[in-house]
């Protein structure tokens, strides 16, 4: 349904010494299966390459922390969790979510394959193991007496190449009366809002409620409720409980299922025209940037993100247009963006250099970043938000 070309791995940031080396480029093609209604990319990069060392720390986002605290408090109340309860998060990152359960006196376990991030979580006092999750790990944990009242799987199911093994493990890890809370990028928002930069090699699948319910049910998990979230440009949060099929459907599930059917989300026709809209957006964004450069304006970018890597490389936006990128993550500063080789600096460089415009690559956190950069804006700096329509703020 969409071919973005052969792109570098989105989080493969480079050191100065690596700039002269050839980068691996892999086709990034979105396909759709009318049999199961799943959108997915056609190439699978081994997880060991993608995730053993990882530059994204969730705690760098105030929005992510705020949403995590809200969710933890909600689950503690809704599930009547006590110090005897157990909460597990798969792909737990730096403990951004589990820390709020830990503070409430609830036993937690993080499962995070990225060694550097797992180490950061343990330094916070969050019990974390650095392994990939699947049925084998779940079996070992269950054998050692680990049974969870709540299992979180935020933005990880889309990364799983063995979905069956992942869901089998999830089911085995849960108590019979437990609940799984699963968040995924919502394919409907991606298509309708032209969020093509959500597509990168780590995201193997792009889900709807229609494409989630059947695989969950086939692995003994019934969706009992669903929420639409604005975070990350549009996500689905589903609540799944042990059982082959849902005994009842929440009002939100019924409403969303009706909406998806009306929009044809489970049909190939929903994706027709998506590639054309993506090309049009690229043309408008590149034209805007080149017009500004022709006027002698200086342009930087904010966010050395995976989204940004897709956008910059697909649009061909590099050092001839952008002077540098800034990012709050100290783990990224001093490195260079994949493919485009832009230097990554601390956000303070915006005030030091005062570029006329900043291309906001992490547009999904626009409100947070605009607040943080109030002084840059007060001095006359402007942001360019590229998705879903290039606009200047």
Closest CA to 261 of 304, 209, 328: 209
* Residue 244: pLDDT over 60: no
Condensed to tens digits (0 to 9), the pLDDT of residues 184-200 reads 999 999 999 999 999 99
Class of the domain covering 34-263? alpha beta
Give yes or no for residue 10 having a pLDDT over 80: yes
Residue span(s) of the chain under CATH 3.40.50.720 come to 2-30+273-392
Low-confidence winner among 20-24, 188-192, 314-318 (lowest mean pLDDT):
20-24
CATH, range 2-30+273-392: 3.40.50.720
> How confident is the prediction for the chain on average, in pLDDT?
95
Cα 250 to the chain's mean position, in Å? Answer: 26
pLDDT tens digits for 43-71? 999 999 999 888 888 998 898 999 999 99
In the chain, residues under CATH classification 3.40.50.150 are 34-263
Distance of CA 291 to the CA centre of its chain: 32
pLDDT of residue 56: 85
pLDDT given for residue 248 in this prediction: 61
Q: Is the distance from CB of 103 to CB of 124 less than 8 angstroms?
A: no
pLDDT of residue 179: 96
pLDDT of residue 60: 87
Residue 341 has pLDDT above 80, yes or no: yes
DSSP code string of 7-50 = EE-TT--B-GGGTTSPPPEEEEEEEEETTTTEEEES----HHHH
* Both structure tokens of 330: 């100290």
Residue 257 has pLDDT above 70, yes or no: yes
| Percentage of residues in the chain having pLDDT higher than 90 | 93
pLDDT digits (tens, 9 = 90+) for 77-120: 999 999 999 999 999 999 999 999 999 999 999 999 999 999 99
The alpha carbons of the chain give a radius of gyration, in whole angstroms, of 21
Q: What is the pLDDT of residues 290-301, one digit of tens each?
A: 999 999 999 999
Q: What count of other Cβ atoms lies within 10 Å of the Cβ of residue 120?
A: 19
């Amino acid at each position: 349904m969409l071919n973005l070309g052969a792109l570098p791995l989105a989080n493969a940031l480079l050191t100065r010494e690596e700039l002269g080396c050839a980068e691996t480029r892999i086709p990034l093609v979105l396909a759709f299966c009318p049999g199961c209604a799943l959108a997915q990319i056609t190439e699978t990069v081994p997880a060991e390459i993608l995730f053993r060392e990882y530059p994204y720390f969730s705690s760098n986002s105030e929005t992510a922390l705020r949403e995590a605290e809200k969710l933890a408090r909600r689950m503690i109340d809704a599930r009547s969790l006590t110090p005897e309860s157990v909460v597990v998060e798969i792909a737990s990152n730096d403990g951004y979510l589990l820390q709020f359960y830990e503070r409430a006196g609830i036993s937690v376990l993080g499962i995070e394959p990225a060694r550097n991030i797992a180490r950061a979580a343990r330094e916070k006092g969050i019990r974390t193991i650095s392994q990939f999750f699947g049925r084998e790990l779940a079996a070992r944990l269950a054998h050692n007496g680990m049974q969870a009242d709540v299992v979180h799987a935020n933005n990880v199911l889309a990364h799983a190449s063995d979905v069956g093994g992942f869901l089998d493990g999830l089911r085995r890890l849960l108590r019979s009366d437990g609940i799984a809370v699963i968040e995924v990028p919502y394919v409907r928002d991606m298509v309708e809002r032209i969020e093509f930069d959500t597509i990168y090699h780590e995201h193997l699948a792009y889900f709807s409620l229609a494409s989630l319910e059947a695989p969950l049910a086939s692995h003994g998990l019934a969706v009992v409720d669903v929420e639409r979230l604005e975070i990350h440009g549009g996500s689905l949060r589903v609540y799944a409980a042990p059982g082959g099929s849902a005994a009842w459907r929440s009002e939100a599930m019924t409403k969303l299922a009706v909406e998806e059917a009306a929009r044809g989300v489970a049909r190939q026709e929903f994706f027709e025209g998506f590639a054309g809209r993506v090309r049009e957006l690229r043309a408008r964004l590149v034209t805007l940037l080149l017009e500004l450069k022709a006027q002698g304006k200086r342009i930087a970018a904010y966010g050395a993100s995976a989204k940004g890597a897709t956008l910059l490389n697909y649009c061909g936006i590099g050092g001839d247009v952008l002077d540098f990128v800034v990012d709050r993550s100290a783990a990224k500063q001093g490195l260079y963006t994949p493919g485009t080789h832009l230097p990554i600096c601390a956000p303070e460089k915006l005030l030091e250099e005062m570029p006329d415009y900043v291309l906001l690559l992490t547009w999904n956190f626009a409100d947070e970043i605009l607040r943080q950069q109030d002084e840059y804006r007060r001095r006359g700096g402007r942001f360019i938000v590229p998705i879903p329509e290039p606009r200047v703020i």
